[in-house]
């Protein structure tokens, strides 16, 4: 019982709503006592249900590939933690970028998501997105991608968790939270069925 109580104290997590957050992540970290354990920031975005037809028509780029690297960092305004993933592209399924961009072969893409774990001034800060699961190094994926700003080097996942699928044993599974998978038309379908629907 004493060991359990100690573990609970050292792993204490403070949940912070981002809906009303005006402070930067470093400011929030500075106000947190490291003795209370990791600080968890939970983001709860709301994404409209997006079907494949809508996503395929409005995505800049749709690719299949493998996540090879992940780098966690603060956003440019320091109000969130982000992770930028490098994806080695094995198949460009659909390319609707500008003619200049589309002329170049796509070997890798960078994809940035909200969330990750950072050490800031000796404090462990964990940010999670409650709408879905994060990508991870080693994942084989099908991603619907869109640049938020034309000058951005990195893409965002178009449609949030509706625009990302992990490929396992020839089948695709969305990264959306488990309680919402019923809304995903191709959940558990063969990867070739998904690709055919996109093309």
The pLDDT of residue 103 is above 90: no
For residues 164 and 35, what is the distance between their CA atoms, to the nearest angstrom? 37
pLDDT grade, residue 171 (50/70/90)?
very high
Question: What torsion do the CA atoms of 184, 188, 194, 195 make, to the nearest 10 degrees?
Answer: 140
Per-residue pLDDT for 64 more than 50? yes
The pLDDT > 70 percentage for the chain reads 84
The answer to whether residue 7 scores a pLDDT higher than 50 is no
Q: Which domains does the chain have, with CATH numbers?
A: 2-198 (2.40.50.120)
Residues 168 and 173: their CA atoms lie apart, in Å, by: 8
> Confidence class of residue 9 from pLDDT cuts 50, 70 and 90?
very low
Q: Give burial (CB, 10 Å; 0-12/13-18/19+) of 187.
A: middle
Mean pLDDT, the chain, whole residue set: 83
């Amino acid at each position: 019982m004493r060991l359990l109580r100690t573990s609970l104290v050292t792993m204490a997590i403070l949940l912070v709503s981002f809906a009303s957050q005006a402070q930067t992540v470093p400011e929030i970290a500075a106000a947190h006592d490291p003795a209370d354990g990791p600080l968890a920031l939970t983001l709860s975005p709301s994404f409209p249900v997006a079907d494949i037809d809508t996503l395929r028509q409005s995505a800049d780029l749709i690719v299949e590939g493998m996540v090879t690297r992940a780098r966690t960092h603060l956003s440019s305004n320091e109000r969130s933690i982000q992770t930028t993933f490098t994806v080695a592209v094995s198949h460009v399924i659909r390319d609707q970028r500008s003619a200049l961009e589309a002329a170049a072969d796509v070997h890798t893409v960078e994809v940035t998501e909200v969330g990750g774990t950072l050490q800031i001034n000796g404090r462990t800060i964990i940010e999670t997105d409650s709408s879905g699961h994060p990508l991870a190094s080693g994942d084989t994926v099908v991603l619907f991608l869109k640049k938020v700003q034309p000058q951005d080097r990195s893409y965002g996942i178009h449609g949030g968790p509706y625009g990302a699928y992990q490929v396992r044993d020839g089948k695709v599974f969305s990264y959306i939270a488990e309680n919402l998978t019923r809304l995903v038309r191709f959940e558990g379908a063969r990867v070739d069925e998904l690709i055919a629907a996109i093309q």
